[in-house]
Structure 1
Amino acid sequence: MDSLLTMYITLVCVSGVFNVFLSIYAFSKRREIPGAGTFMAYTSALAIYCFGYAFCLASDTIREVKLWTTVEYVGMPFSAALGLMIVLNYLGRKVSGRTAAVMLVIPAITLLMVATNDYHHLFYKSMELREGLPAPLVKIEIGEWYIVHGIYTFSCLLAAVVLLIGRWRQTSRTYRLQLTVMLCGQFIPMVAAFLYLLGIAPGGLDPVPIVMCVTSSLFIWAIVSTKMLTVVPIAKETIFESMGEGVIVLDPAERLIDFNRAAAAMIPSLHLSLIGKTLDEVWTMMTGSPFPAARQPQGMKEEIVWTADNGCRCYEVRSSVVRHRNGEQAGSLLMLIDVTELKRLQRDLEHMAYYDGLTQIYNRTHFIHLARELLKESRTGGHPFSVVLFDIDYFKQINDSFGHETGDRVIVHVVSVCKRILGENTLFGRYGGEEFVIALPFASLDEAAGLAERLRAALEAEPLITADGEVAVTSSFGAAQAAEPGRDTLESLLHAADEALYLSKRGGRNRVSVCNPAVRRRDR
């Protein structure tokens, strides 16, 4: 064996050692390196490839050559596919287990073909030692599957190179050194493999294991100097597509040029065929009207409602200008944030703030706020203003006899009966537990008392029907009118109505009493 071959074998073994080191490093940093398992498999496959080829070169018999060739192919056919997986992971494209399995099918078949070649000769048609050479190299005649294997290996390397080159402009300068190392790790072996497949490699030797010494050295240097593998850039489009908010990208002429997956999910009618049209044209095609929110100025926030099969969704639209480095406007972004649940929660909170949870009429606080406004308007216009207070007779006995659930049903029943008589625009609220209040602008005391009498009669005539039988429901009423000079406050007016209510209670309940400005206490 001449000195040149000895040097070649030595360099191939160094490549194997470097890849063993890289595999051990990936194992030690497996919790820090994204896709560490794939990188370990890749470097292990390269190490097996290098050592197998080194022993193959050192073999003296055809039997030894076949044995070490089989060992070599335990790693070599898998390395290209695993390298492509590493590139995909590096670029933020997740490789699923099923996809990885499919990518490794041809390498697995290649290994099987090499191991059983003596039975079918589909990989090597013939293999024999060359004569007259200073070293016992092998002369081979390739078979059909060798061609399939070569095409697949070269395709994986080429795909990895194309993907990495395509990412160059989108990669910040901070990470371009890493990208360069990744690119060299795929491009240099691809060129070497191409030369070998064409049969123009120096001395007929496979140059790939020797160039692995260079690429592995680059990997080691990049890991030490730039924290490669542990600090990996996240692709801009990966961020764009993984955002939970919908993003619509417009050019300076407000033409649609891109949108992310979230925007397509929010607005199912948005599809690629609409790219190139203005946003108003797109929206008109989808809804029949122009886009309902303005795109300017910078930082604008508006809301739009999108109606689809799954109901109405509310989106907050935020606009921002995208500029080139020289400050010129490159376009704009519209960010769609789904605020449907937030709006629903706001409506629920507002409802809870204004309405009684059991009866869904105004609660005491909101009733007083609205009644004050009505009283103020009545003073300004010189109109009469009256209030009616009433509560349910013997409500405690109902709770004690039938339970609190029935008591709640009685309260709802009273409100239901009253709302049929009062109408939708009457200011009606729950004043306390079983006590209710009505504000009547433009109503005199007699009119308020007449309305109270109709309510009293309706409640008396309509008991609550329960599984345990009828529950008689009656109420006592008190009515009061604001003084003509308009000096009564709402609190004093409610106090007067409360006095009239207690007058009804003392008079035997289920009746109406009034308290007017001239005579603050009078039975009806």
Structure 2
Amino acid sequence: MTNSQLTMYITLVTTSGVLSVFLFIYAYIRRAEMPGSRIYLLYTAAQAVYIFGFAFELASETMREVKFWTTVEYAGMPFAPVLGLLLVLRYTGRPVSGKAAAAMLVIPFLSFALVATNDWHHLFYKSVFFRETGPSSLVDIEAGQWYIVHGAYTFGCLLAGAVLLLRQWNRTNEAYRLQLTALIAGQFVPMIAAFLYLMNATPAGSDPVPIVMCFTSAMYIWAIISTRTFTIVPIAKERLFESMREGVLVLDASGRLVDYNAAVGRMIPALHASMIGRKLDEAWTQMTGEAFPIDLLADGTQDELTWAAKAEISYYQVRSSAVRLRNGERAGSLLMLIDVTEQKRMQRQLEQQAYYDGLTGIFNRAQLLHRSKKMLDEARSRNEPVSFILFDIDRFKRVNDTYGHDTGDRLIVHVVSVCRQHLPHGALFARYGGEEFVIVLPNAALEDAGALAERIRTALEAAPMPTTGGPLAVTASFGAAAALSATGGGDSLESVLRDADAALYESKRNGRNKVSLHRRG
């Protein structure tokens, strides 16, 4: 190596040191976005000390200066691989305790101490001497026992970090493998450079490690900042993220899909990795034809989401929460999907039992009384009429006795089916008990109720129920009554039902299959 080449080499090393300082400053400014910032700051500081110490060593003219700047180098160089490993451990979800980290730094501290006191024991370097050829400032060394320990430990830290990162490859989403590749390279490149240097395979025997270490540091910070890896998507998500039964969607501050766990993949099979990086609204529109039904920027909200697949509908409770950086800035959102399909089904079954008749599916007696009272109150407030139709199936007991209760149940279902075809919008239809039914008509006069009852009576008479023994004739008797409005004093529900019941019995006395109206005298 000529003097001009040495000068160029020192310039490159110095530039590398300046870049390391820049990365330190950059990481310090962005430390609120990097939960692992303390380790990274120490990592870049150790690199900067090593690189500048090496540059000054190259520029030294006396052995005393060389030894001094070598000691400065070792104030940083032995610590950088260990700090890099600690960074990888944190990145892969294996942060170590303070005591364990201190134990990992014992050998680097011993290396620094032994280099600083090498002239007394020569455990690190047996000898240090200037080269006989080339610039007089270049030195060679004869390794001592501890130099071997130090080298093995350094290589071990770099190799351990690389292995840990490689093990995460299959567990890392394809969208983040480029960042993972950069981190892996950050471990392997210094090892390769050091190996080439020890094998004397570098130009003029120059040490490339100080230069490449700066680039590996840049790879680290790019991988961290480009995806906010430590804040939003740690690679170690499989320990918690992937093992969760609840589905989790991870969004950035712009509502773009950053990642999702396996549970969401099972809940929403149409979701796939190619949608990562797109806004969730766009991805959801692609899957369903509609925008995502929940406000993605809301914090702490709960909503319900339905997903239809293979003729089955699933229900998910969605809880949103903001992910914030240490400085309070919103970094993104977490949407947690909890499968409540079974609870929904049970709730509907309970509602069905509480509100509806188990045989016919129309309202039961309790709901009839509750809802018709509300309809009466609303009608009074608007001074509108309300009419009631009470009817039952003629000679229903004879059907049960002759054909059995199964046929009787089928007859009740048949009657309800025919009635439903004629009910106007807003009408309340309920099973009052046994073979008896009630229809409540809001804003309908008595004559309107009578006309509807006649249409239903005619339809039932014209629609006998098919049976194995032939068609079974169906008729019903009807009674209708209207409630007085508020200006007329206002009838109670009980009194209107009594009036309708009186009209029904008038129809029965007149031979059944009739419609009778209760008119006030």
| Bigger Cα displacement from structure 2, 498-507 vs 238-247 | 498-507
Match of 2:512 in 1: 509
Amino acid at match of 1:268: P
Normalised by the size of structure 1, how large is the TM-score?
0.51
Q: 1:431 to 1:175 in 2, by over 3 A?
A: farther
Amino acid at match of 2:337: L
Q: 1:326 to 1:427 in 2, by over 3 A?
A: closer
Match of 1:67 in 2: none
Distance 2:358 2:289 in 1: 40
Q: 1:290 to 1:415 in 2, by over 3 A?
A: closer
Match of 1:482 in 2: 483
Amino acid at match of 1:370: R
Provide, for residues 9-36 of structure 1, a one-character-per-residue CA deviation record: whole Å limited to 9, x for no partner.
xxxxxxxxxxxxxxxxxxxxxxxxxxxx
Distance 1:407 1:513 in 2: 25
Q: 1:274 to 1:409 in 2, by over 3 A?
A: closer
Match of 1:171 in 2: 94
- Determine helix, strand or coil for the equivalent of 1:493: helix
Q: Which runs of 5+ in 2 are unaligned?
A: 1-83, 108-235
2:435 counterpart of 1:434:
yes
Amino acid at match of 1:171: R
Distance 2:253 2:422 in 1: 60
Deviation at 1:275, TM superposition (A): 2.8
Amino acid at match of 2:260: F
Deviation at 1:430, TM superposition (A): 0.9
Deviation at 1:427, TM superposition (A): 2.2
Deviation at 1:387, TM superposition (A): 1.1
Deviation at 1:400, TM superposition (A): 1.8
Provide, for residues 24-75 of structure 1, a one-character-per-residue CA deviation record: whole Å limited to 9, x for no partner.
xxxxxxxxxxxxxxxxxxxxxxxxxxxxxxxxxxxxxxxxxxxxxxxxxxxx
Q: 1:476 to 1:309 in 2, by over 3 A?
A: closer
Work out whether residues 482 and 517 of structure 1, in 8 Å CA contact, stay in contact via their aligned partners in 2.
no
Work out whether residues 481 and 517 of structure 1, in 8 Å CA contact, stay in contact via their aligned partners in 2.
no
Match of 2:341 in 1: 340
Match of 2:389 in 1: 388
Amino acid at match of 2:262: R
| Bigger Cα displacement from structure 2, 362-371 vs 486-495 | 362-371
Work out whether residues 395 and 407 of structure 1, in 8 Å CA contact, stay in contact via their aligned partners in 2.
yes
Match of 1:196 in 2: none
Match of 1:218 in 2: none
Matches within 5 A, 1:124-273: 166-169=88-91, 170-173=93-96, 177=100, 236-273=237-274
Matches within 5 A, 1:451-490: 451-483=452-484, 485-490=488-493
Work out whether residues 355 and 363 of structure 2, in 8 Å CA contact, stay in contact via their aligned partners in 1.
yes
Q: 1:441 to 1:336 in 2, by over 3 A?
A: closer
Distance 2:461 2:294 in 1: 55
Deviation at 1:174, TM superposition (A): 5.2
- Determine helix, strand or coil for the equivalent of 1:436: strand
Distance 2:453 2:444 in 1: 12
Work out whether residues 379 and 486 of structure 1, in 8 Å CA contact, stay in contact via their aligned partners in 2.
no
Deviation at 1:442, TM superposition (A): 3.6
Deviation at 1:288, TM superposition (A): 5.0
Work out whether residues 426 and 441 of structure 2, in 8 Å CA contact, stay in contact via their aligned partners in 1.
no
Q: 1:363 to 1:310 in 2, by over 3 A?
A: closer
Provide, for residues 100-122 of structure 1, a one-character-per-residue CA deviation record: whole Å limited to 9, x for no partner.
xxxxxxxxxxxxxxxxxxxxxxx
Provide, for residues 327-366 of structure 1, a one-character-per-residue CA deviation record: whole Å limited to 9, x for no partner.
5544321112233343344344334433222112222222
Provide, for residues 446-493 of structure 1, a one-character-per-residue CA deviation record: whole Å limited to 9, x for no partner.
343343333334333433221133333322222222236142112210
Work out whether residues 393 and 475 of structure 2, in 8 Å CA contact, stay in contact via their aligned partners in 1.
yes
Once superposed, what is the RMSD of the aligned Cα atoms? 3.6
Match of 1:410 in 2: 411
2:503 counterpart of 1:500:
yes
Q: 1:475 to 1:248 in 2, by over 3 A?
A: same
Provide, for residues 160-193 of structure 1, a one-character-per-residue CA deviation record: whole Å limited to 9, x for no partner.
xx99995444224459859x99xx9xxxxxxxxx
Q: 1:445 to 1:282 in 2, by over 3 A?
A: closer
Work out whether residues 255 and 276 of structure 1, in 8 Å CA contact, stay in contact via their aligned partners in 2.
yes
Work out whether residues 168 and 176 of structure 1, in 8 Å CA contact, stay in contact via their aligned partners in 2.
no
Work out whether residues 306 and 315 of structure 2, in 8 Å CA contact, stay in contact via their aligned partners in 1.
yes
Q: 1:248 to 1:399 in 2, by over 3 A?
A: same
- Determine helix, strand or coil for the equivalent of 1:469: coil
Deviation at 1:290, TM superposition (A): 4.0
Work out whether residues 477 and 501 of structure 1, in 8 Å CA contact, stay in contact via their aligned partners in 2.
yes
Match of 2:129 in 1: none
Deviation at 1:314, TM superposition (A): 3.1
Work out whether residues 399 and 406 of structure 1, in 8 Å CA contact, stay in contact via their aligned partners in 2.
yes
- Determine helix, strand or coil for the equivalent of 2:322: strand
Match of 1:369 in 2: 370
Work out whether residues 388 and 481 of structure 2, in 8 Å CA contact, stay in contact via their aligned partners in 1.
yes
Distance 2:251 2:300 in 1: 15
Distance 1:239 1:432 in 2: 55
Q: 1:314 to 1:238 in 2, by over 3 A?
A: same
Work out whether residues 86 and 95 of structure 2, in 8 Å CA contact, stay in contact via their aligned partners in 1.
no
Work out whether residues 500 and 514 of structure 1, in 8 Å CA contact, stay in contact via their aligned partners in 2.
yes
Amino acid at match of 2:316: Y
Matches within 5 A, 1:314-333: 314-324=315-325, 329-333=330-334
Normalised by the size of structure 2, how large is the TM-score?
0.52
Q: 1:253 to 1:422 in 2, by over 3 A?
A: closer
Distance 1:290 1:471 in 2: 53
Amino acid at match of 2:368: F
